Amino acid sequence: MRAGGTLAVGCLALALAACRAEGDPATGFPPSGRDVAPIVSDAFSTEDVRDRVGEFEAVVAAARVRPGMSVADIGAGEGYYTVRLSPLVAAKGRVLAQDIVPETRDRLAERVQREGLDNVTVRLGEPADPKLPPGGLDRIFLVHMYHEVTDPYAFLWHLVGGLKPGGEVIVVDADRPVKRHGIPPARLKCELAALGLRLDRFERMPDGDTFFAAFRAAGPRPAPSAIKPCAEPA
């Protein structure tokens, strides 16, 4: 289950099974060499439950989101983060909400219009390319979705291009195997490091299973052919 994120149609057909990321030889990006969790819902939990445990407040405080920032909610799903980020960044800020499922994107666009969120833009992305504006974002949120990314090195390569200097990639996920809809923190750190992203902050969330991780660019992103993938898990 998730807050956002998507998989290729072939993986969706596996239902509760997991598929393996294969990469794209035509583009030069390496395969991840690990499992990918299938999507079983476009919702991670009910919004009331998430509000009661203070999830959003804890995450944005750790992410140091401020009015006037430009932020992205990747794999936005039903828009739990999108609609709450909108008033937080305020009128001078901007929120880009993205999903790769057209129907999910359309439902979120309707919600944004219905709630009058004038600083939110909703876009359709691709599994390996979130289609971000180059160098335009202070924070990019990947909430309960990274374990569903089919080609993480291609995805991250395009993602990094959307960061402003000093911008951060914020990952919220569960510390458990990918097949159980999580990502071990060591594996996450390794994969993002392959794209020049350094772990800046790490916190355990109150439930003990979920973690928050903030990454910053430690140098230029490598050429696709120069990416050194992490070793396959044992």
Report the chain's mean pLDDT, rounded to a whole number: 87
Q: What is the pLDDT of residue 232?
A: 76
Q: What is the pLDDT of residue 233?
A: 65
For residue 1, tell me if it sits in a domain.
Answer: no
pLDDT tier, 43 (very low <50, low <70, confident <90, very high otherwise): low
Is-contact 185 211, C-beta < 8 A?
Answer: yes
For residue 221, tell me if it sits in a domain.
Answer: no
For residue 20, tell me if it sits in a domain.
Answer: no
SS3 142: strand
pLDDT tier, 131 (very low <50, low <70, confident <90, very high otherwise): very high
Token couple for 16? 């509760």
For residue 228, tell me if it sits in a domain.
Answer: no
pLDDT tier, 138 (very low <50, low <70, confident <90, very high otherwise): very high
**DSSP letter string, 55-79:** HHHHHHHHHT--TT-EEEEET-TT-
- The C-alpha atoms of residue 13 and residue 234 are separated, in whole angstroms, by 26
Beta pairing partners, 183? none
Q: What is the pLDDT of residue 57?
A: 95
Total count of domains within the chain = 1
Q: What is the pLDDT of residue 99?
A: 96
**DSSP letter string, 39-61:** P--S-SS-HHHHHHTTHHHHHHH
Q: Which of 124, 150, 121, 149 is nearest to 137 (CA)?
A: 121
Per-residue pLDDT at 9 exceeds 80: no
Higher pLDDT among residues 139 and 40, named by residue: 139
For residue 222, tell me if it sits in a domain.
Answer: no
What are 216-226's pLDDT values in tens digits? 999 899 999 99
- pTM of the predicted model as reported, rounded to 2 decimal places: 0.86
Domain that holds residue 157: 48-214
pLDDT tier, 48 (very low <50, low <70, confident <90, very high otherwise): confident
- The C-alpha atoms of residue 140 and residue 148 are separated, in whole angstroms, by 16
Q: What is the pLDDT of residue 2?
A: 45
The single-letter DSSP state of residue 190 is H
Phi, psi of 9 (to 5 degrees): -60, -35
Q: What is the pLDDT of residue 145?
A: 94
For residue 36, tell me if it sits in a domain.
Answer: no
For residue 127, tell me if it sits in a domain.
Answer: yes
For residue 41, tell me if it sits in a domain.
Answer: no
Which CATH number characterizes residue 165's domain? 3.40.50.150
What are 66-100's pLDDT values in tens digits? 999 999 999 999 999 999 999 999 999 999 999 99
What are 167-195's pLDDT values in tens digits? 999 999 999 999 899 999 999 999 999 99
